[in-house]
């Protein structure tokens, strides 16, 4: 079996922006790519909701669809316009997945995204 340290290093070194949140989308962990993409050092986002990345113009229906999937313990993939720490906007391709405990109960969420502004 793989040592836990390897999982940590793999996530730390991933080029995808990766964050882990509690069951209310409050950030517990963010990797270095998250900082590169969003401009937020991990220390500034820990404890805050992922909604700090929200562009204020995204229709609520988009978030309702996202949360509708997560409530059913299903992952959601899609694109969102996000806002960096400096206020600039970027197009994000995201995958957000529930993390379940051994009993199948939701405990956390895993968020992965990348900036696809250039590719669009």
Distance CA 44, CA 79 (A): 24
With beta carbons less than 8 A apart as the criterion, state whether 17 and 39 touch: no
Nearer to ligand FAD, 3 or 59 (CB): 59
State yes or no: residue 64 binds ligand FAD (CB under 6 A).
yes
- Residues between 1 and 60 with contacts to ligand FAD, criterion CB under 6 A: 19, 21, 24-25, 49-51, 53-54, 60
Distance CA 16, CA 72 (A): 25
State yes or no: residue 111 binds ligand FAD (CB under 6 A).
yes
DSSP label at residue 58: S
State yes or no: residue 114 binds ligand FAD (CB under 6 A).
no
Least Å distance, CB 91 to ligand FAD, is 11
Range list of β-strands (E), the chain: 17-21, 27-30, 76-83, 89-100, 106-115
Place of tokens 């696809």: 116
Which residues are near ligand FAD by CB under 6 A? Answer: 19, 21, 24-25, 49-51, 53-54, 60, 63-64, 67, 71, 80, 82, 92, 94, 96, 109, 111, 113
């Amino acid at each position: 079996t793989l040592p836990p340290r390897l999982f940590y290093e793999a996530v730390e070194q991933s080029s995808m922006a990766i964050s882990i949140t509690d069951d209310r989308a409050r950030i517990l962990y963010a990797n270095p790519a998250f900082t590169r993409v969003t401009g937020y050092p991990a220390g500034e986002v820990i404890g805050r909701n992922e909604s700090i990345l929200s562009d204020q113009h995204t229709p609520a229906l988009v978030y309702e669809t996202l949360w509708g999937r997560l409530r059913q313990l299903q992952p959601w993939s899609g694109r969102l316009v996000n806002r960096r720490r400096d206020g600039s906007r970027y197009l994000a391709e995201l995958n957000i997945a529930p993390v379940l405990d051994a009993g199948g109960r939701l405990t956390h969420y895993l968020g992965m995204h990348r900036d696809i502004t250039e590719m669009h």
